[in-house]
Structure 1
């Protein structure tokens, strides 16, 4: 294995994420005022606290992930194991990342724990079953044209080596199916774990542009992972 390869973040399987509302704001360039009165979906949201925090702000947010088949305690245990594992990996690669937002590994870890705890509290609540749905791409349990904004963070494109192009196209089609006309799908980041842009992104952009959608790369504002400065916007 070369030295360059050793500097890559190693990921086996699909990681469980625990990100905060503020991180979503930066990843997807969200403006809170623009979300009021809109129905928002976080796809492959894991144990992120976006849905919980958005609801507290008065935004009608929901999330979907196969993880939600597990019990709150099982998700909490799995989440804490994942957070410890990620922190250990990052501690060996601190110079690879831009720490402008997080500060350091310990702050990053503390934020993940806080988001996980907020998620578990909301997931366990009486209304948890209403806003957290158990399903996995490329098949979502919603009627067509249900959501104004559909987001997917740290799943599509990132796992280029585990999911082929056909899966990515099918997944994006499904995100667009549940999106309302005039609505938007946003996907972040645009790169794989090798920190280079998803190799089939030009093909995917061209395919959906030819299908009549407005597809653009847009600038994000969460400088952390190398080459993670953009998200994909697909307007329906």
Structure 2
């Protein structure tokens, strides 16, 4: 992992944690997902917000669920929060759009349209007959879910990104907690490995050492979603097989 901790780019200003609204296609690219990986067993999307990954994955026949503290809210509250976040984030991106790679999205207007589609797809699934089983209320670092169950755990745009709001101990406990939810031989994929200042997470080496101490294997894999300035990797954490 060769990334500089000095960066002249303008920081993306964020107070609190934003509700993410991302699609299956974005997850495929950012986490480098394929049929073999998705078919291994239960998938868990952590801090999933209003992303439509779980809904779309289920429609494709994959076993997937999502967890987020905002799932304690009603459907209408979630929808309102999602719409507001899309407006706010689009306004922020408009001021910084010269810093981003738009080759996947096309332009900022298409980016916004994609967010809105993801929100609509998520809300429809959240409100479905199986919504309460699929979308679980839970907050890192300790999630109220079954241990050693999931073959693949994904966490997009939360860990590392909010380095200035959550300390190292939170990150360590969160990833170790996710490792506990993995079945033996299962894996966690985390993206991005940058902070909102667009520099590498400064405590990464310490985290990797703690994960290795816990018996996990780690690797940085190429991410295939061009957008974030300088970001081209995801962190893979594999739970030791019995």
2:112 is equivalent to residue 109 of structure 1: yes
Give the alignment partner of residue 46 of structure 1, picking from 29, 46, 49. 49
**What stretches of structure 1 of length at least 5 have no aligned partner?**
none
1:220 aligns to 2:235 (yes or no): no
Q: Please tell me whether residue 193 in structure 1 is matched to residue 215 in structure 2.
A: no
Q: Distance in 2 between matches of 1:60 and 1:112?
A: 23
CA-CA distance at 1:37 after TM superposition: 5.0
SS in 1 for 2:87: helix
Alignment of 1:174-185 (within 5 A): 174-185=177-188
Alpha-carbon deviation of 1:179? 0.4
**Residue 203 (structure 1) aligned to one of 199, 203, 206:** 206
CA shift, 1:129, in A, is 0.4
Deviations 1:102-128 (A, max 9, x none): 111101100000000000000000100
Please give the TM-score of this superposition, normalised by the length of structure 2. Answer: 0.94
**2:80 aligned partner:** 77
Any unmatched runs of 5+ in structure 2?
Answer: 1-6
Alignment of 1:168 with 2:174, yes or no, is no
**How far, CA to CA, are the matches of 2:229 and 2:183 in structure 1?**
33
TM-score scaled to structure 1, two decimals? 0.96
Per the TM alignment, residue 15 of structure 1 is displaced from its structure 2 partner at its CA by: 0.3
Other-structure match for 2:37:
34
**Cα displacement string for residues 176-221 of structure 1 (whole angstroms, at most 9, x for unaligned residues):** 0000001001110000000000000111012212322111111100
Alpha-carbon displacement from aligned partner over 1:141-176 (angstroms, at most 9, x marks no partner): 112101000111100000000000000000001100
Partner-residue secondary structure (3-state), 1:167: helix
Displacement of 1:36: 2.2
SS at match of 2:120: helix
More displaced 10-residue stretch of structure 1: 202-211 or 60-69: 202-211
Could you list the structure 1 runs, at least 4 aligned residues long, displaced by more than 3 angstroms after superposition. Answer: none
User: Aligned with 2:117: secondary structure?
Assistant: helix
